[in-house]
Amino acid sequence: MYKKGLCWIRRDIRLYDHHALSAALKNCQEVYIAFVFDEHILKKLPEDDQRVTFIYDSLMEVESLLNEKGSSVIIAHGDPIKEIPRIFQEFNCDALFFNKDFEPYALKRDKEVKSKIPNAFDYLDHVLFEPDAILNGKNEVYKVFTPYKNKWLTYFSQQEKQVPNYQCPLKNIAQWKNKQSIKKFDWAREIGFSLTPSELKGGTSEAKKKLKNFEKKIPNYAKDRDYPIIEGTSNLSAYIRHGNISIRTMIKACSHQNSSGAQTWLSELIWREFYQMILFHFPHIEKKSFKPEYDNIKWRGEKKHLKAWKEGKTGFPLVDAAMRCLNQTGQMHNRLRMIVASFLCKTLLINWQEGEKYFALKLLDFDLAANNGGWQWSSSSGCDAQPYFRIFNPYSQSEKFDKNAEFIKKFCPELAGFSAKQIHAPHEADMLIQHEAKCLIGQDYPFPVVDYKKNRELALIMYQEVKS
């Protein structure tokens, strides 16, 4: 038993079912909680980044709960390698507790911190199984998802589907007065950010509300999840990313249901674990293709087309609506992520890494492993990726998944005058129809920046050059 423990929260901003916090509370007479605004991460972000607001909301909720117990979150700004040991000494702590993070930067950071603090303990929390737990018959890492998933499910069943719940009774949380609490001190200004209102408010209470609402929809998830205008998904990805809700809560929500929707959602959660495992074992994918030959692709795209893609001005309505949605809300439906990614790489012929970087800058739920995995899947450069010759047709995808153009009209209102039949390819409408729709193509909405059919053939050539 330690006298004073420090629990360092990072991508796990909550006070329930928290492995490290639970261990600290069990093993220490008093427990302090700390959060560091990491300068290495923040310096890459614009000053109005919505994720900072989301994190701020999350910390405010944790602070309120701790205040009820006479406690507070220790907040710091700087390099965690320096700040955590400083806080540890300042509060005369005997042991440090935190949850594992498998990203390359985090692994290096945590190793440095552990080298400076003798009693430092890390715990598995944001995935159910360790990266080395699910191996094939040769004790090797899986590089294909389906056999990994099957082994994961077998492993899960062998443990009788027991999902841990790490209790966090706050009886021995340290009581102290914090003059620089997040409620009293302007930490946003201190770290150089302005708080920007978002459609998603951070915090565990918001996450649990969304989960409760989604549990009613899980049976229909398998079919509804592909249609962006339908509220058929959980909208929980940002909360999972920032740890407002535990992955174990997610798994419990679907593992007790037998519907195809529940099975599909569990499969999505396993995809998340798969990508975390792949990043841990193959950290080179942060900067390079999983398949080395794809680093030799001679991308033929143009910078002006990348700019048009980012701004939602490509002349392909569903692509543009999706990108404008991302820019406005920090969110993007999974089906749309696949469509815009395929479009960037295989229609605009632009390196997938440009898209990955833009998503990293904009997504509220940005997670290195998932984002990298999704982009490498779409560009065919990753493990178990779609074949290079599978190229999403933006027109047919639009007609299939936004048939009545409700999503397109929401984010591209200038196209609202076109019928549901015309809107997917408005440049094909004659001038009379364009005048009636009060939207002249080339003036009120752009012509397609490229010829899809022509560029599809160029994409195949581009990939075949490195495959032969």
Same domain, 142 and 116: no
Do 361 and 355 form a contact (C-beta atoms < 8 A)? Answer: no
Q: Which one of 225, 258, 281 terminates a domain?
A: 281
* Confidence grade of residue 468 (pLDDT, cut at 50, 70, 90): low
435-463 pLDDT per residue, tens: 999 999 999 999 999 999 999 999 999 99
328-363 pLDDT per residue, tens: 999 999 999 999 999 999 999 999 999 999 999 999
**Residue 116, CB-side half-sphere exposure with 13 Å CA sphere:** 16
**What whole-number distance in Å separates Cα of residue 356 and Cα of residue 376?**
9
318 within some domain = yes
Same domain, 306 and 157: no
Do 445 and 412 form a contact (C-beta atoms < 8 A)? Answer: yes
176 within some domain = no
When pLDDT is averaged across residues 388-394 and rounded to a whole number, the result is 95
180-197 pLDDT per residue, tens: 999 999 999 999 999 988
180 within some domain = no
Same domain, 94 and 210: no
Give the range of the structural domain holding residue 463, as residue numbers without chain letter: 292-467
136-151 pLDDT per residue, tens: 999 999 999 999 999 9
Q: Which one of 281, 315, 344 terminates a domain?
A: 281
265 is catalytic: no
Same domain, 398 and 298: yes
Same domain, 316 and 297: yes
Same domain, 49 and 142: no
Residue entry with tokens 């400083």 = 86
Phi, psi of 138 (to 5 degrees): -95, 15
Q: Which one is catalytic: 39, 112, 215, 268?
A: 268
375 is catalytic: yes
DSSP state of 135: B
Same domain, 270 and 416: no
Same domain, 303 and 329: yes
268 is catalytic: yes
Among 110, 103, 102, which Cα is nearest to 36's? Answer: 110
Same domain, 256 and 157: yes
* Confidence grade of residue 159 (pLDDT, cut at 50, 70, 90): confident
Q: Which one is catalytic: 187, 271, 309, 377?
A: 271
Do 351 and 375 form a contact (C-beta atoms < 8 A)? Answer: no
Secondary structure in 3-state letters for 186-252:
CHHHHCCCCCCCCCCCCCHHHHHHHHHHHHCCHHHHHHHCCCCCCCCCCCCHHHHHCCCCCHHHHHH
User: Domain total for the chain?
Assistant: 3
345 within some domain = yes
Q: Is 175 helix (H, G, I), strand (E, B) or coil?
A: coil
Q: Which one of 102, 125, 148 terminates a domain?
A: 125
CATH number of the domain that residue 136 is part of: 1.25.40.80
287 within some domain = no
Q: Which one is catalytic: 187, 375, 377, 455?
A: 375
Q: What is the DSSP string of 139-150?
A: S-B--SHHHHHH
Phi, psi of 284 (to 5 degrees): -65, -20
271 is catalytic: yes
Same domain, 263 and 297: no
372 within some domain = yes
Same domain, 146 and 109: no
CATH number of the domain that residue 332 is part of: 1.10.579.10
Q: Which residues pair with 32 in a beta bridge?
A: 6
77-101 pLDDT per residue, tens: 999 999 999 999 999 999 999 999 9
388 within some domain = yes
Q: Which one is catalytic: 8, 187, 352, 377?
A: 352
173 within some domain = no
Same domain, 251 and 339: no
pLDDT at 386: 86
pLDDT greater than 80 at residue 408: yes
**What whole-number distance in Å separates Cα of residue 23 and Cα of residue 121?**
9
Helices (H), 242-316: 247-255, 260-281, 303-311
Q: How far is CA 298 from CA 38, 76, 128, 293, 345, in A?
A: 36, 45, 39, 11, 12
**What whole-number distance in Å separates Cα of residue 377 and Cα of residue 339?**
12
Do 55 and 187 form a contact (C-beta atoms < 8 A)? Answer: no
